[in-house]
């Protein structure tokens, strides 16, 4: 692959944009999780002939289902943002950065935007250490790319001055 010839976004802006996007996605996904009752199980306890209700601890199945719902929301959000003609999620727009094709600087399109979001959210959901390494990878890559950038042949560029 040739050297990227457009101004790359700083790691700090990328991290802040991802954090903002994660918050934006977490709000509706948490609402869905709450509405369908995942993680909100009640169990009856009988103590001294009195029955009380208390929250049950989360199960592995519920935790996995919650992660899958969040991954689905983040994938759709990324498809609509990173995959748009502007290449910007709300977080990227607020920070003046955009996702583009690393070969020619053109938009990556909705499919690659979805794939990029899916890989990113899957890596962070698969394990905190894996997700952290992915997000720190730009420090070792000369083109400032994460694993999800490399897989989808994308780059995050600066589109607005600081």
Task: Give residue 46's pLDDT.
Answer: 66
Alpha carbon distance 58, 81 (integer Å): 32
Average pLDDT over residues 87-95: 98
Average pLDDT over residues 38-57: 65
Burial of 128 (C-beta count, 10 Å sphere; 0-12/13-18/19+): exposed
For the chain, give every domain's residue range: 25-158
pLDDT, greater one: 60 or 90:
90
Alpha carbon distance 18, 56 (integer Å): 32
Task: Give residue 60's pLDDT.
Answer: 74
Task: Give residue 1's pLDDT.
Answer: 47
Beta bridge partners of 158: 97
Q: What is the pTM of this model?
A: 0.84
> Rounded to whole angstroms, what are the CA distances from 161 to 93, 98, 120?
12, 12, 26
């Amino acid at each position: 692959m040739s050297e990227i010839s457009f101004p790359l976004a700083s790691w700090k802006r990328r991290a802040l944009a991802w954090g903002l996007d994660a918050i934006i996605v977490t709000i509706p996904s948490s609402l869905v999780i709450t509405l369908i009752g995942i993680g909100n199980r009640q169990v009856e306890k009988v103590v001294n002939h009195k029955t009380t209700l208390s929250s049950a601890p989360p199960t592995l199945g519920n935790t996995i289902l919650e992660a899958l719902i969040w991954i689905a929301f983040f994938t759709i959000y990324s498809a609509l943002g990173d995959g748009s003609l502007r290449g910007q999620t709300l977080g990227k727009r607020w920070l003046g950065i955009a996702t583009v094709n690393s070969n020619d600087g053109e938009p990556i399109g909705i499919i690659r935007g979805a794939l990029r979001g899916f890989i990113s959210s899957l890596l962070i959901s698969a394990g905190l250490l894996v997700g952290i390494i992915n997000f720190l990878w730009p420090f070792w890559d000369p083109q400032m790319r994460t694993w999800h950038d490399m897989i989808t042949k994308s780059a995050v560029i600066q589109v607005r001055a600081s």
